[in-house]
C-alpha cells in the first residue's frame, strides 16, 4: 500500500518539492539581503527608539529616512506574500481533491478496492501519507515565510496581526493547509469527479476562511481598550507594538464620538489654522482623546495557536468523515 | 492431432459439432487408435468456447467407446468408426441411384426427394430424433 | 451441489429507485455464467454487491458462503474486472503486476507475467498507451493472478472491437479451462454467449427473469407458430414467455413441461438468443406499462 501511494503520488510530490525549492530560491536570497540591510542601517535601534520616543529630532529624522529607503527597496515584496496566502488552498486543491475523486472519476477505485486490502486501510494510508507530506510542506513554508517577513513587518511598521499578514506566517498556514487538504479529500468522497470536488473545496475553503477571519478572530479573546489625549500625541502607536487595532475613534471628554476610523495627533505646540487650538476645526474640545479597541501584539502567537488548532481540528474531523465515506462508495 | 473448426452459422449445438468432427476424422482415417485429441484447454482457448462444452463432447465420445481419458495426460482415440465396408456402400449407392431416377420420373423435385428422405430417416433412426 | 455465488431476495436501492430487486440466484461451481440484460438493468449493481463494493439494502449475497461487503479476506478469492477495465493509466503493466503483489496475500505474479508475455504486451509502457483490447487483457491477467475461485467480469468485451473481443474470450476460456474458476460475466451483447457460457441469468428492469443452465433452457423452450391463439392452455406448455399476434396467426415463445403434441402448432427450437430476447422483451413491456400507468 505504501508502495502504491508512493508510485501514484511521486510525480505530484516531485512537483510540490520543485515548487517549494522555487519559493526558497525567492525567499532565501531576498530574506538574507533584507536582513543584511536591516542590520547595516541599524533599523532595530531606530524602531526601538521611535517606539519609546527617546530619540532626538535629528536622530528621528535619520531613522525615518532609513526606514523609507528600506521600504522603498523591499516594500513591494510584501505583495509576493499574497502568493503565500493562496498556497494552502493550492495544496488543498491539488493534493486533497483528487485523492479519492480521481479514483472514482477514472473508475480505478473498483480496481484497487477489490484487491486484498480493506478500504479503511487504503484510506488511512493515503490520508496519512498525503496529510503527513502536506504538513511537512506547510511547516516549511509557514515558518520560512515568518522568517522572511519579519524585517518587512518591522520596517513597514505593519502589524503582523493584521488580516492578510496574520494569515501568511507563523503556524496558522499549517492549519489552513491541512484543512484545505482534508476539505479536498472529503469533497472528493461526495463529488466523484475531480473538478467539482476542487470547486467545492475552493468555495468551502474561501467561505470558511473569510468567515472565521472576519467574524471569529477579532472575538477570540476580549479586546483591550486604550485612550490617550489628542494633545501631546506624537504619532500612531499601535503599529510599533504590533497591536491589531480593531476600531478607533476620536472622542470628546464627554464621551461623544467626533470621528471614527481615525486618530488625531496634536504634537506639543502645534496649533490649527487661524491660530485656533489644534483640532478645534474638527469640533474637538479641550481634553479630547483617542479611543482604540485592539488586540495586543503579544497575543499574536496565542491567536496563531488557536486558529491553527481550530483548522487542524476541522481537518481531523473532515479526514475522519472522508474515511467513513470511502466505505460507502461503489 | 486434429484442429477443431466451428461453423458459426450452423444451428447445430457446439458440442455436437465437436463430436461430429471427431467422428468424421475417425471415419476418413484422419484419427486412428492411440492418437491424442487436442487438450481441453487448447480447444477452449483457440475456439473461445466454454471448456465445459469440450468436456461434454469428449465425455460423449467416451460414452460411445470411441476415446478414453487418461487423467493428467489427455484424451486418446480408442476405437475406429467401423463404417460399412466399401463394397456394401457401392451396392447401397446403386440402389439409391435407381430409386432417385424413379422418383424423378414420377415428377418429384429435388426438394421433394430431400423431404421424403429426411422423414424416412427420422422414422427409421429414432435416436436421431432427440437431437433434431 | 456447491454454490459459489448465492443471493437471496437481494436488493439495492439508489434513492427511491431499486437498481436490483428480489434477486434470488444460485450459481453452481465451475460454471461460466452470463449475466444478460439491457444497459441499466442492474447488472453492475449486482456484480458490485457480489464483490463487496456495495452493501445490499435488502436480502443477502454470499460468495463461498460469506457476505462479501467488508470481508477483505474473501476478496482474495474473487477476481473482478470492472466495466471499461479501469487501470492506473500511468502505470506500466509490470508495475500493475507489482501493485497486485503488494495488495494481495495470494498473488501469482509469474502467472500474470507469463500471460502478458504470451500476448506480446510490452511490460514497460504505460497501460494508458495500450489499445482497449490490450488493457482488457492486462485487467484479466491481474484478476487471474489472484487465483480466484470466482471471477466476476463487468461488460468485459462491450467496448472491444471484434478481434479484441475474440482474443479476450480466448484468453478467458483458456484460463477457465486451466483454473476451473467459476465465472460470472455481464454482457448486453448476446453473440458469443452461446458458445462461451453454460449458464444464463437474465436481468431486466432490476429483476431476474430467468436463470439456468443453457442446455436446460434449450430443451425447455419452444417457439410455436399456429393460428391465432387468445389464451387458454396448450398441452405441454408451462408458460407463455412472449406472444405476438396477427389477425390470423400467433407466434409464441413458451416454456414447456412436456412434449407439445397439438398438430395445430408448428414447433421449433429457438436459439439461446431468441429465448433470452423473449425474456428481455417481456420485462421491458411490463416495466413500461407500469411506468405509463396503463394495464399491460
Q: Encode pLDDT of C35-66 as tens digits.
A: 998 888 889 999 999 999 999 999 999 999 99
| C-alpha closest to that of A229 among A273, A285, A271, A297 | A285
Within its chain, how far is the Cα of A168 from the centroid?
3
Q: Are residues B93 and B66 in the same domain?
A: no
CB neighbours (10 Å) of residue A286? 12
Closest CA to A197 of A110, A119, A93: A93
- Structural domain range at position B107: 86-131
Residue B7 lies in a domain: no
Q: Which of A4, A11, A114 sits opposite C99 (nearest CB)?
A: A4
Residue C12 DSSP SS3: strand
Find chain A residues with C-beta within 8 A of C95's C-beta.
7
Provide the number of CB pairs (under 8 Å) joining chain B to chain C.
Answer: 52
Inside any domain, residue B112:
yes
Please report, for the domain that includes residue B37, its CATH number.
Answer: 1.10.10.10
Q: If you average pLDDT over every residue of chain B, what do you get?
A: 85
Confirm whether B2 is domain-assigned.
no
Q: Any long-range contacts for C258-266 (C-beta under 8 Å, 24+ apart)? A: C260/C222, C260/C224, C260/C234, C260/C235, C260/C236, C261/C235, C261/C236, C262/C234, C262/C235, C262/C236, C264/C226, C264/C227, C265/C224, C265/C225, C265/C226, C265/C234, C266/C224, C266/C225, C266/C226
Mean pLDDT along residues A78-103: 86
Of the pLDDT bands very low, low, confident and very high (cuts 50, 70, 90), residue A265 is confident
Residue A129 pLDDT grade (very low, low, confident, very high; cuts 50, 70, 90): very high
Residue A238: what pLDDT? 46
The interface predicted TM-score of the complex, written ipTM, equals 0.87
Residue C52 with chain A: CB contacts under 8 Å = 114
CB contact B41 to C (< 8 Å): yes
Instruction: State how far the Cα of C22 lies from the Cα of C57, in Å rounded to an integer.
Output: 11
Contacts of C262 (CB under 8 A, 6+ apart): C234, C235, C236
C196: part of which helix (H) or strand (E)?
helix C193-196
Using the beta-carbon criterion (under 8 Å), do A114 and C89 form an inter-chain contact?
no
Q: Is C177 on the interface with B (CB under 8 A)?
A: yes
Which of B41, B48, B54 lies nearest to residue C178, judging by beta carbons? B41
C63 to chain A nearest CA, in Å?
A: 14
- The number of domains in chain B is 2
> Model-level pTM?
0.82
* Number of C-beta neighbours around residue B27 at 10 A: 13
Tell me which residue in C53, C88, C146 faces A8 most closely, judged by beta carbons.
C88
The pLDDT of residue C1 is 59
Of the candidates B41, B42, B50, which has its C-beta nearest C195's C-beta? B50
Provide the 8-state DSSP code for A166. G
How close is the nearest chain A Cα to the Cα of C161, in Å? 21
Report d(CA A104, CA A100) in Å as an integer: 6
For B111-130, the pLDDT digits (tens) are 999 988 888 888 888 654 44
Tell me if C25 sits within 8 A of C210, measured CB to CB.
no
Q: Is the pLDDT of residue C226 over 90?
A: no
Is it true that domain C3-204 has CATH number 3.40.50.300?
Answer: yes
Domain positions in chain C: 3-204, 215-292
DSSP structure string for B20-45: HHHHHHHHTTSS-TTPBPPPHHHHHH
Quote the cell numbers at residue C110.
509469474
Chains that contact B by 3+ CB pairs under 8 Å? C
Mean pLDDT value of segment B18-32: 87
Q: Which chain A positions have a beta carbon within 8 Å of C90's beta carbon?
A: 11
Chain C hits for B42, CB-CB cut-off 8 Å, are 174
Mean pLDDT value across residues C14-35:
91
Q: Are strands C150-154 and C182-187 parallel, antiparallel or unpaired?
A: parallel
Question: Is the CB of C72 less than 8 angstroms away from the CB of A107?
Answer: no
Residue C48: all three cell numbers together = 458490485
Task: State the Cα–Cα distance between residues A132 and A119, nearest whole angstrom.
Answer: 19
Amino acid at each position: 500500500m505504501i508502495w502504491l501511494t508512493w508510485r501514484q503520488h511521486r510525480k505530484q510530490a516531485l512537483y510540490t518539492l520543485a515548487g517549494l525549492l522555487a519559493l526558497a530560491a525567492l525567499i532565501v536570497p531576498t530574506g538574507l539581503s533584507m536582513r543584511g540591510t536591516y542590520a547595516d542601517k541599524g533599523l532595530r535601534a531606530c524602531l526601538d527608539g521611535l517606539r519609546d520616543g527617546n530619540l532626538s529630532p535629528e536622530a528621528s529624522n535619520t531613522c525615518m529616512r532609513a526606514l523609507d529607503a528600506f521600504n522603498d527597496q523591499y516594500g513591494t515584496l510584501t505583495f509576493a506574500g499574497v502568493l503565500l496566502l493562496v498556497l494552502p488552498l493550492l495544496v488543498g486543491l491539488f493534493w486533497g481533491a483528487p485523492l479519492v475523486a480521481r479514483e472514482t472519476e477514472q473508475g480505478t477505485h473498483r480496481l484497487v478496492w477489490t484487491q486484498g486490502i480493506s478500504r479503511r486501510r487504503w484510506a488511512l494510508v493515503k490520508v496519512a501519507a498525503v496529510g503527513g507530506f502536506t504538513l511537512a510542506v506547510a511547516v516549511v513554508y509557514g515558518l520560512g515565510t515568518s522568517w522572511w517577513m519579519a524585517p518587512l513587518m518591522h520596517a513597514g511598521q505593519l502589524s503582523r496581526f493584521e488580516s492578510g499578514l496574520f494569515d501568511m506566517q507563523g503556524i496558522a498556514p499549517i492549519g489552513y493547509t491541512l484543512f484545505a487538504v482534508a476539505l479536498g479529500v472529503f469533497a472528493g468522497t461526495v463529488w466523484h469527479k475531480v473538478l467539482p470536488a476542487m470547486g467545492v473545496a475552493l468555495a468551502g475553503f474561501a467561505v470558511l476562511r473569510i468567515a472565521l477571519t472576519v467574524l471569529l478572530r477579532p472575538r477570540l479573546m476580549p479586546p483591550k481598550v486604550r485612550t490617550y489625549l489628542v494633545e501631546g500625541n506624537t504619532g500612531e502607536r499601535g503599529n510599533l507594538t504590533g497591536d491589531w487595532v480593531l476600531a478607533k475613534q476620536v472622542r470628546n471628554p464627554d464621551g461623544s464620538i467626533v470621528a471614527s476610523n481615525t486618530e488625531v495627533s496634536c504634537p506639543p505646540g502645534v496649533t490649527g489654522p487661524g491660530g485656533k487650538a489644534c483640532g478645534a476645526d474638527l469640533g474637538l474640545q479641550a481634553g479630547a482623546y483617542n479611543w482604540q479597541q485592539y488586540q495586543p501584539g503579544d497575543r499574536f502567537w496565542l491567536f496563531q495557536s488557536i486558529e491553527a488548532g481550530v483548522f487542524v481540528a476541522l481537518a481531523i474531523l473532515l479526514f475522519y468523515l472522508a474515511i467513513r465515506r470511502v466505505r460507502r462508495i461503489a | 492431432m486434429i484442429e477443431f473448426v466451428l461453423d458459426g452459422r450452423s444451428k447445430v449445438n457446439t458440442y455436437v459439432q465437436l463430436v461430429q468432427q471427431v467422428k468424421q476424422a475417425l471415419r476418413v482415417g484422419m484419427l486412428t487408435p492411440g492418437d491424442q485429441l487436442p487438450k481441453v484447454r487448447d480447444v477452449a482457448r483457440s475456439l473461445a468456447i466454454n471448456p465445459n462444452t469440450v468436456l461434454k463432447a469428449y465425455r460423449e465420445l467416451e460414452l460411445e467407446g470411441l476415446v478414453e481419458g487418461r487423467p493428467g495426460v489427455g484424451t486418446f482415440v480408442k476405437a475406429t468408426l467401423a463404417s460399412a465396408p466399401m463394397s456394401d456402400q457401392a451396392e447401397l449407392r446403386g440402389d439409391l441411384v435407381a430409386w432417385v431416377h424413379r422418383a424423378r420420373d414420377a415428377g418429384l423435385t429435388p426438394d421433394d426427394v430431400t423431404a421424403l428422405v429426411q422423414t424416412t430417416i427420422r422414422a427409421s433412426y429414432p435416436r436421431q430424433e432427440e437431437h433434431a | 451441489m456447491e454454490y459459489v455465488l448465492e443471493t437471496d431476495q437481494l436488493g439495492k436501492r439508489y434513492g427511491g429507485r431499486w437498481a436490483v430487486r428480489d434477486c434470488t440466484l444460485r450459481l453452481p461451481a465451475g460454471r461460466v455464467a452470463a449475466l444478460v440484460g439491457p444497459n441499466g438493468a442492474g447488472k453492475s449493481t449486482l456484480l458490485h454487491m457480489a464483490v463487496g463494493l456495495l452493501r445490499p439494502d435488502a436480502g443477502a449475497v454470499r460468495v463461498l458462503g460469506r457476505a462479501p461487503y467488508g470481508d477483505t479476506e474473501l476478496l482474495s478469492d474473487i477476481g473482478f474486472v470492472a466495466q471499461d477495465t479501469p487501470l492506473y493509466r500511468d502505470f506500466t503493466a509490470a508495475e500493475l503486476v507489482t501493485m497486485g503483489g503488494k495488495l494481495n496475500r495470494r498473488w501469482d505474479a509469474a502467472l500474470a507475467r507469463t500471460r502478458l508475455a504470451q500476448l506480446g504486451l510490452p511490460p514497460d509502457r504505460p497501460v494508458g498507451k495500450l489499445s482497449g483490447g490490450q488493457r482488457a487483457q492486462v485487467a484479466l491477467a491481474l484478476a487471474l493472478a489472484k487465483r480466484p475461485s470466482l471471477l466476476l467480469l463487468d461488460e468485459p468485451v462491450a467496448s472491444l472491437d471484434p478481434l479484441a473481443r475474440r482474443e479476450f474470450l480466448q484468453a478467458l476460456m483458456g484460463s477457465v479451462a486451466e483454473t476451473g474458476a467459476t465465472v460470472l460475466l455481464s454482457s448486453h451483447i448476446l453473440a458469443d454467449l452461446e458458445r462461451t457460457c453454460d449458464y444464463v441469468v437474465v436481468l431486466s428492469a432490476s429483476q431476474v427473469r430467468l436463470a439456468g443452465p443453457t442446455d436446460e433452457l434449450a430443451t425447455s423452450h419452444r417457439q410455436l407458430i399456429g393460428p391465432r391463439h387468445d389464451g387458454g392452455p396448450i398441452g405441454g406448455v408451462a408458460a407463455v414467455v412472449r406472444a405476438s399476434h396477427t389477425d390470423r396467426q400467433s407466434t409464441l415463445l413458451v416454456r414447456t413441461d412436456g412434449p407439445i403434441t397439438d398438430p395445430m402448432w408448428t414447433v421449433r427450437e429457438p436459439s439461446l438468443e431468441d429465448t433470452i430476447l423473449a425474456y428481455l422483451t417481456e420485462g421491458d413491456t411490463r416495466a413500461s406499462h407500469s411506468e405509463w400507468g396503463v394495464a399491460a
